C-alpha cells in the first residue's frame, strides 16, 4: 500500500466520521425536543398488502409490554384470522362484524346495521381509560360507504382518553381522518401474488 492510498483512506474515514457526527447531533436534538407524551392516532392506508398485519403487529407489540388492547374488525371475515386466535388468548378483546359487510355485499341495510353495532362497541372502547390501544381494522370503508357518520367518529376519536392509542386501517382513508391523525402511512402495491393467480394463503393472508 502506498502512502498516497493510506492518506486517501484516512481522509475518507475522517469525512465519514464528521458526517456521522453531524447526523448524530441532528438526531439527538430531535430526540431531545420530542417530549410530548400522549395517545397517537395512526392510519395505515393504501392499496398494498400490509395494513391489517401492521395494525395487529402494533397490538402484539403493546400486549408484549403488558398494555391492554382491543380490536374491532369492520369486515366479516370469510376465515377466522390468525391474529384473533392468538391475541384473544392473550386477553385482547375482539369486536367483530358477525354479519353483514363483505366484499360482495348485497344487503345495504343489513350492512349498515352490522357496522353500527360494532361502532357502538367501539364508542365504549374509545371511552375506556383502561384500554391503551384500540385497533379499528378496515374502518375506512365504513366512512367511504357512509355507513357511519364521520362527525360522530371524529368526536369519539377526539374525546378518547388522552393516552389511548388508536390505529385505523383500510384503503382510501377519508381526508378528515388523515388530517386528524398523528402518523399516517400509505402502503403502496408494487405487486401481489394474487395477481399471478396464487390464492390467499393461511397464516399469510388471514
Ligand atoms: P394484510 O391483512 O395481509 O396486512 P391488508 O390489510 O393490507 O392485508 P386488505 O385490503 O385488508 O389488505 O385485504 C385483505 C386481503 O387481501 C389479504 O388477504 C391480503 O393479502 C389481500 N390483499 C392485500 N392487498 C392486495 C392487493 N394489492 N392485491 C390483491 N390482494 C391483496
Ligand atoms: Mg386489512
Cell of 116: 353500527
Residues with Cβ within 8 Å of residue 177, at least 6 apart in sequence: 43, 140, 143, 153, 154, 157, 168
Average pLDDT, stretch 13-20?
89
Residue with CA closest to ligand 1 atom 13: 49
Select from 49, 102, 173, 187 the residue to mutate for testing ligand 1; criterion: most ligand atoms less than 8 Å from CB.
49
Whether ligand 1 lies within 6 angstroms of the CB of 50 is answered as yes
Whether ligand 1 lies within 6 angstroms of the CB of 51 is answered as yes
Looking at residue 49, the DSSP 8-state letter turns out to be: S
Distance (Å) of CA 103 to CA 122, 145, 203: 22, 12, 20
Q: Which atom of ligand 1 is nearest to the CA of 44?
A: 7
Residues counted in the chain: 206
Residue with CA closest to ligand 1 atom 25: 49
Q: Which atom of ligand 1 is nearest to the CA of 169?
A: 6
- Residue 102 CA: which ligand is closest? 1
* Closest C-alpha to 119, from 144, 145, 147: 147
Whether ligand 1 lies within 6 angstroms of the CB of 77 is answered as no
Percent of the chain with pLDDT over 90: 66
**Which residue in the block uniquely carries the three cell numbers 374491532?**
72
Tens of pLDDT along 17-76? 989 898 988 888 887 777 788 999 999 999 999 999 999 999 999 999 999 999 999 986
pLDDT at 101 over 60: no
Whether ligand 1 lies within 6 angstroms of the CB of 200 is answered as yes
CA of 32 to the centre of ligand 1 (A): 38
Give the confidence band of 102 by pLDDT, cuts at 50, 70, 90.
low
* Closest C-alpha to 132, from 83, 167, 88, 89: 167
Element (H, E) at 168: strand 165-169
Cβ atoms of 148 and 116 closer than 8 Å: yes
HSE value, Cβ hemisphere, 13 Å, CA-based, for 136 = 30
* Closest C-alpha to 180, from 142, 147, 140, 138: 140
Q: Which residues make beta-bridge pairs with 188? A: none
Q: Give all strands (DSSP E) within 59-170, no chain letters.
A: 69-73, 93-96, 133-137, 165-169
Tens of pLDDT along 150-176? 999 999 999 999 999 999 999 999 999
Q: Round to whole Å and give the CA distance between 125 and 144.
A: 22
Give the confidence band of 11 by pLDDT, cuts at 50, 70, 90.
confident
Tens of pLDDT along 115-162? 999 999 999 999 999 999 999 999 999 999 999 999 999 999 999 999
Q: Where are the alpha helices (H) located in 137-203, listed in sequence order? A: 140-144, 150-158, 175-180
pLDDT at 5 over 80: no
Cβ atoms of 175 and 140 closer than 8 Å: no
CA of 141 to the centre of ligand 2 (A): 11
CA of 50 to the centre of ligand 1 (A): 7
Is pTM, for the whole model, over 0.75? yes
Residues with CB under 5 A from ligand 2 (ion): 51-52
Amino acid at each position: 500500500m502506498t502512502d498516497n492510498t493510506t492518506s486517501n483512506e484516512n481522509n475518507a474515514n475522517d469525512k465519514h466520521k464528521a458526517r456521522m457526527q453531524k447526523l448524530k447531533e441532528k438526531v439527538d436534538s430531535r430526540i431531545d425536543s420530542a417530549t410530548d407524551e400522549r395517545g397517537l392516532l395512526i392510519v395505515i392506508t393504501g392499496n398494498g398488502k400490509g395494513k391489517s398485519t401492521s395494525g395487529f403487529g402494533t397490538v402484539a407489540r403493546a400486549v408484549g409490554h403488558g398494555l391492554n388492547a382491543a380490536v374491532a374488525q369492520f369486515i366479516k371475515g370469510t376465515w377466522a384470522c390468525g391474529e384473533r386466535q392468538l391475541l384473544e388468548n392473550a386477553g385482547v378483546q375482539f369486536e367483530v362484524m358477525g354479519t353483514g359487510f363483505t366484499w360482495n355485499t348485497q344487503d345495504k341495510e343489513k350492512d349498515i346495521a352490522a357496522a353500527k353495532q360494532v361502532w357502538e362497541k367501539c364508542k365504549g372502547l374509545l371511552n375506556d381509560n383502561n384500554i391503551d390501544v384500540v385497533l379499528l381494522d378496515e374502518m375506512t370503508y365504513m366512512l367511504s360507504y357512509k355507513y357511519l357518520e364521520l362527525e360522530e367518529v371524529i368526536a369519539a376519536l377526539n374525546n378518547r382518553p388522552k393516552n389511548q392509542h388508536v390505529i385505523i386501517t383500510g384503503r382510501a382513508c377519508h381526508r378528515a381522518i388523515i388530517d386528524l391523525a398523528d402518523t399516517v402511512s400509505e402502503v403502496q402495491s408494487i405487486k401481489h401474488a394474487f395477481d399471478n393467480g396464487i390464492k390467499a394463503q393461511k397464516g399469510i393472508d388471514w
